[in-house]
């Protein structure tokens, strides 16, 4: 591992991992620093999981531009990397006369944003597409490109490709301080450990304003905007065929009802500004308001079983656009305020940030080879291992179902534990395999999964359960050649 990196990236969400992957195409020593025990554990794991076209973005904004670019880049990437997606299309429904009269301006906005396949449809067409919707729709806007994506697989895929192409990932490494010394950024982490780098990218999500302050800037303040969601059981999946969108407001895209790539149905999110960047609890008021909205849109949904509820925090700021700024003299790029669209815009943001770094003098000399990686499929649209006789014949572990709700096999769990960014916690296994995410939420399978994880990693089962309750594990450095360089004590 180098003692001084060419570039350090703070934050391994969808944005930071995408930037690390993009930069790993070039002859650079890259450090990706993440406060949590795994990649993708911030806002990236708690959202609505829509692959947005950007049809409704404010024209002329950086967000609108990068969403469009990212959409095109993702079309190739999700195929190459095996990211679970479903190209269902979105149906924005006008429920009042006033909303109906906004459809032409939304259509015009979509066209201005380059999303030209959007069209206004009649109430009859709305019900032909979605017969279970509540009565009373005036009409709608059909957005064929709005799609579903797996926000769990995506950052792991980006980070894995970054690692395979030479980047170093430091987990459990909350950057506590950034100072300048001899022309380098010196980042201090836990136990006084330091990382030195010539260039710095701040992709710290909710904390991007605080990192920005460490660099002497006060351009924006992140106000966490909580979005609560209800996950319905897979039996609800038959009720809808598309992403059912509301007419957006200036504050929020509104409450939608959408299938997920795992076969559930989501209802949400709410939009509520908080002052606590850690408050991802759901609330009785928030969930109640969702139930009321859900009943108004798709009455039968309320008869379905709820599998889980969760909340995510959008990194909202006082500005109506992403806060991506190059401070060339400091060799620093701030990538903040990536509000409601960062999963979809991640590849566009990464390409843009690489361009900014080049402007600041970072030499982007391509490597001879860029290694790609295909992810295990955890979506319903393609076959899972338990459905593949040839795989089971080669390895009977793919026929041994451990999590019966989500039909996750021992083979998939072992693959996740021994993958380039290994699952070392129960939460990491949930996001890599879907185990413990089904209707029993791990009640039936968690003990067996703890046993496998403990056996394979040599960790104490009690410690694994404690980590799952939020205890801080020890720092862990990963490279493609050395998966398990642990530092310090737990």
Ligand X SMILES: Cc1cc2nc3c(=O)[nH]c(=O)nc-3n(C[C@H](O)[C@H](O)[C@H](O)COP(=O)(O)OP(=O)(O)OC[C@H]3O[C@@H](n4cnc5c(N)ncnc54)[C@H](O)[C@@H]3O)c2cc1C
Question: Do 311 and 226 meet the contact criterion of CB atoms below 8 Å apart?
Answer: yes
Scan residues 124-183 and list those touching ligand X (CB under 6 A).
174-175
Of 18 and 414, CB closest to ligand X: 18
CB of 199 to ligand X, least distance (A): 16
- CA distances, 467 to each of 38, 83, 201, 485 (Å): 12, 27, 29, 19
The residue within the footprint of ligand X, chosen from 7, 8, 9, 10 (CB under 6 A), is 10
Residue 337 near ligand X by CB under 6 A: no
Q: Which stretch binds ligand X (CB under 6 A): 105-113, 198-206, 413-421, 450-458?
A: 198-206
CB of 204 to ligand X, least distance (A): 4
Neighbours of 362 (CB within 10 A): 18
Backbone torsions φ then ψ of 61, nearest 5 degrees: -80, 160
3-state SS, 151-213, equals: CCHHHHHHHHHHHHCCCEEEECCCCCEEEEECCEEEEECHHHCEEEEEEEEECCHHHHHHHHH
Of 34 and 86, CB closest to ligand X: 34
Scan residues 40-79 and list those touching ligand X (CB under 6 A).
41-44, 47-50, 52
Of 49 and 162, CB closest to ligand X: 49
Residue 432 near ligand X by CB under 6 A: no
Query: Regarding beta strands 223-232 and 306-316, do their DSSP bridges make them parallel or antiparallel, or are they unpaired?
Result: antiparallel
Interaction pattern, residues 250-279, with ligand X; x per rule: CB under 6 A: -------------------x----------
**Tokens coding 102:** 């906004």
Total chain residues near ligand X (CB under 6 A) = 38
Catalytic residue among 52, 185, 242, 373: 52
CB of 151 to ligand X, least distance (A): 7
Residue 245 near ligand X by CB under 6 A: no
Contacts of 482 (CB under 8 A, 6+ apart): none
The residue within the footprint of ligand X, chosen from 294, 342, 411, 475 (CB under 6 A), is 342
Region class of 59: left (phi > 0), else alpha (psi between -120 and 50), else beta: beta
The whole-angstrom distance between residue 453's C-alpha and the CA centroid of its chain comes to: 24
The residue within the footprint of ligand X, chosen from 11, 145, 166, 294 (CB under 6 A), is 11
Closest CA to 194 of 479, 487, 467, 481: 487
Question: Do 168 and 32 meet the contact criterion of CB atoms below 8 Å apart?
Answer: yes
Of 175 and 201, CB closest to ligand X: 175
CB of 437 to ligand X, least distance (A): 17
CB of 55 to ligand X, least distance (A): 13
- CA distances, 257 to each of 246, 301, 341 (Å): 9, 9, 17
The residue within the footprint of ligand X, chosen from 252, 341, 409, 433 (CB under 6 A), is 341
Q: Does the active-site annotation cover 52?
A: yes
Q: Which stretch binds ligand X (CB under 6 A): 203-211, 365-373, 411-419, 444-452?
A: 203-211
Positive or negative, the CA dihedral 96, 101, 107, 113 is negative
Q: Give the chain's end-to-end CA distance (angstroms, integer).
A: 23
- CA distances, 17 to each of 51, 169, 293 (Å): 17, 10, 35
**Tokens coding 267:** 């209802």
CB of 127 to ligand X, least distance (A): 25
Q: Which stretch binds ligand X (CB under 6 A): 5-13, 24-32, 129-137, 382-390?
A: 5-13
Give, as one character, the DSSP assignment of residue 277. T
Of 411 and 475, CB closest to ligand X: 475
Residue 338 near ligand X by CB under 6 A: yes
Of 314 and 386, CB closest to ligand X: 314
Interaction pattern, residues 294-313, with ligand X; x per rule: CB under 6 A: ------------------xx
Catalytic residues, which ones?
52
Q: What does the binding site for ligand X look like in residue numbers (CB under 6 A)? A: 10-16, 33-36, 41-44, 47-50, 52, 174-175, 203-207, 227, 269, 312-314, 338, 340-344
């Amino acid at each position: 591992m180098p003692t001084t990196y060419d570039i350090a990236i703070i934050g391994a969400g969808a944005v930071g991992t995408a930037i690390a992957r993009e930069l790993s195409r070039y002859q650079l020593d890259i450090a990706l620093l993440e406060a949590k025990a795994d990649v993708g554990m911030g806002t990236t794991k708690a959202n609505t999981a829509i692959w947005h076209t950007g049809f409704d973005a404010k024209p002329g904004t950086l967000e609108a531009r990068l969403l469009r670019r990212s959409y095109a880049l993702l079309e190739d990437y999700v195929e190459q990397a095996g990211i679970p997606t479903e190209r269902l299309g979105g149906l924005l429904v006008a429920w009042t006369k006033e909303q109906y009269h906004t459809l032409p301006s939304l259509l015009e906005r979509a066209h201005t944003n380059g999303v030209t396949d959007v069209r206004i449809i009649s109430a009859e067409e709305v019900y032909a597409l979605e017969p279970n919707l509540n009565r009373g729709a005036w009409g709608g806007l059909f957005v064929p490109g709005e799609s579903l994506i797996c926000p769990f697989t995506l950052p792991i895929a980006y980070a894995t490709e970054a690692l395979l192409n030479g980047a170093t990932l430091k987990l459990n490494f909350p950057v506590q301080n950034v100072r300048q010394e001899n022309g380098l950024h010196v980042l201090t982490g836990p136990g006084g450990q330091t990382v030195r780098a010539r260039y710095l990218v701040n992709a710290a999500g909710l904390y991007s304003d605080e990192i920005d302050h460490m660099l002497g800037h006060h351009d924006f303040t992140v106000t966490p905007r909580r979005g609560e969601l209800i996950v319905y059981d897979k039996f609800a999946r038959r009720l809808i065929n598309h992403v059912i969108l509301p007419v957006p407001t200036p504050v929020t895209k509104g409450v939608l009802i959408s299938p997920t790539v795992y076969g559930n149905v989501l209802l949400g999110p709410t939009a509520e500004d908080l002052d606590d960047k850690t408050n991802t609890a759901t609330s009785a008021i928030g969930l109640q308001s969702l139930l009321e909205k859900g009943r108004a849109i798709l009455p039968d949904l309320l008869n379905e079983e709820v599998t889980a509820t969760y909340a995510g925090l959008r990194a909202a700021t006082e500005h109506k656009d992403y806060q991506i700024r190059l401070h060339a003299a400091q060799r620093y790029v701030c990538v903040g305020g990536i509000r409601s669209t960062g999963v979809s815009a991640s590849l566009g943001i990464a390409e843009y940030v690489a361009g900014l770094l080049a402007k600041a003098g970072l030499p982007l000399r391509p490597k001879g080879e860029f290694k790609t990686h295909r992810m295990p499929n955890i979506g319903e649209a393609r076959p899972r291992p338990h459905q593949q006789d040839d795989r089971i014949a080669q390895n009977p572990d793919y026929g041994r179902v451990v999590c019966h709700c989500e039909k996750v096999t021992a083979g998939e769990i072992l693959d996740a534990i021994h993958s380039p960014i290994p699952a070392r916690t129960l939460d990491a296994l949930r996001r890599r395999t879907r185990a413990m995410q089904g209707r029993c939420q791990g009640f039936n399978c968690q003990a067996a999964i703890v046993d496998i994880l403990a056996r394979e990693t040599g960790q104490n089962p009690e410690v694994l359960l404690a980590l799952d309750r939020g205890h801080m594990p020890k720092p862990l450095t990963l490279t493609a050649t050395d998966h398990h360089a642990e530092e310090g004590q737990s």
